[in-house]
Amino acid sequence: MLQNLLGKPTPTQQKNKNKTKNMAVSTRKSFHSSSNSPLYGVYKRILLVLMVGLFSLLHQWIQPPPPSVCGSTNGPPVTSTRIKLKDGRHLAYMEHGVRKEEAKHKIIYVHGFDSCRYDALRISQEVIEEQGIHLVSFDRPGYGESDPHPTKTVESAATDIEELADQLKLGSKFHVIGFSMGGELVWGCLRYIPHRLAGAALLAPVANYWWDGYPREVSKEAYAKQLPQDQWAVRVAHYAPWLTYWWNTQKRFPCSSVISLRFDIFSTEDVKLMPKFAARSTYMPQVRQQGEFESVHRDLMVGFGSWEFSPMSLNNPFHENNRSVHLWHGAQDRIVPVALASNIAQKLPWIRYHELPEAGHFFPFADGMADAIVKSLLLGDS
């Protein structure tokens, strides 16, 4: 009793304590004995080799092949007119319309996903001459014959456009029109080079579900409207961009439906417009000729990655004019849900919003639409 009161162990407790101590010592001796065994060293080396081999195999699976750069050894030939940017990259472009020296309006067109400079907006010759339009279309980095840009960002896309305008001597101000993924990049022009813009039009622009400013229910509902494979494709591009190449080339799970060219993702109106794209078969092989990773995969990583800004945080760059930025979207668009565009338009009242009730994603290529879009941008709405 007195031992318990003084905190001293009883004989029984002391015996158990000694037993536990002896077991621990025995275990340590057993461990040191086994670790000193030649077999232990062999097993350790085998495990290390297996782990290195596994990581090497995983790296090969997720590592994209190097791009086949145009003009390089064994790369595709250069057939287009190109400029050389300050960082050494080349940008391929085409010029359309009246001579720029005679033009009243200069427009740079930014093509969409899985496209190139040949996919320019089809403005009628009548409107081109009537409005004095000089149009420049170009291959975005990694597409067609423009060099890949491994560190491409939304800002670099805007500064590429600015440098293109400078080298082509388009003047201090020009208009930009972007379609789909190219439309999304026009937000970057409004953010990073607003002082160079005379106006802008965004046509069915892709939207990033993770932009700040979207009500949770809006982005969640729009995200859920995608096919499951597309939900996964954009999720990987956003959260694990280093897996984008592997995800869209492996065969166990379906990749992005747009990359795999699934026909059933298009609306009825889009299907009706398909014959207008027949000419693409003559240049489609050029679109991804430098590699899928630096073209379509890089597009996903930039478009759905972490942006430095949200379009909904932008201020009107045209303080004296609330009708210089136009946003067009088809209500039947099954690729980019219209709710995302309409929500931005509600938050930015200085944007002129055009929602087309019966149109799908490819409405800019419908008869007369290119003319309507351009005249609205240049002349304002009647």
Residues 340 and 230 in one domain: yes
Question: Which pLDDT score is estimated for 29?
Answer: 47
Does residue 310 form part of some domain? yes
Burial class of residue 83 (count of CB atoms within 10 Å of its CB; 0-12, 13-18, 19+): middle
Residues 124 and 49 in one domain: no
Domain count, the chain: 2
Does residue 87 form part of some domain? no
Residues 21 and 110 in one domain: no
Residues 131 and 269 in one domain: yes
Which residue, 202, 203, 198, 208, is CA-closest to 317? Answer: 198
Distances from the Cα of 367 to the Cα of 28, 43, 105, angstroms: 83, 71, 22
The mean per-residue pLDDT over the stretch 15-33 comes to: 48
Residues 152 and 30 in one domain: no
Residue 260 Cα to chain centre, angstroms: 16
Residue 369 sits in a domain whose CATH number is 3.40.50.1820
Q: Rounded to 5 degrees, what angle do the CA atoms 10, 12, 16 make?
A: 115
pLDDT digits over 32-50, tens only? 445 555 665 666 666 665 6
Residues 206 and 265 in one domain: yes
Residues 51 and 108 in one domain: no
Does residue 85 form part of some domain? no
Per the structure, the complete domain to which residue 52 belongs is given by: 2-57
Residues 191 and 282 in one domain: yes
Q: Which residues contact 20 (CB under 8 A, 6 or more apart)?
A: none
What's the mean pLDDT when you consider all of the chain?
Answer: 88
Confidence class for position 61, pLDDT limits 50, 70, 90 = low
Residues in the chain: 382
pTM of the model: 0.85
Q: Which residues contact 142 (CB under 8 A, 6 or more apart)?
A: 67, 148, 149, 152, 290, 291, 294, 295, 298, 299
Is the pLDDT confidence value at 329 over 90? yes
pLDDT digits over 176-203, tens only? 999 999 999 999 999 999 999 999 999 9
Does residue 65 form part of some domain? no
Is the pLDDT confidence value at 253 over 90? no
Residues 47 and 107 in one domain: no
More confident: 367 or 319: 367
pLDDT digits over 102-159, tens only? 999 999 999 999 999 999 999 999 999 999 999 999 999 999 999 999 999 999 999 9
Residues 30 and 119 in one domain: no
Question: Which pLDDT score is estimated for 263?
Answer: 83
Does residue 69 form part of some domain? no
Does residue 317 form part of some domain? yes
Does residue 132 form part of some domain? yes
Does residue 356 form part of some domain? yes
Residues 124 and 222 in one domain: yes
Is the pLDDT confidence value at 23 over 50? no
Residues 183 and 258 in one domain: yes
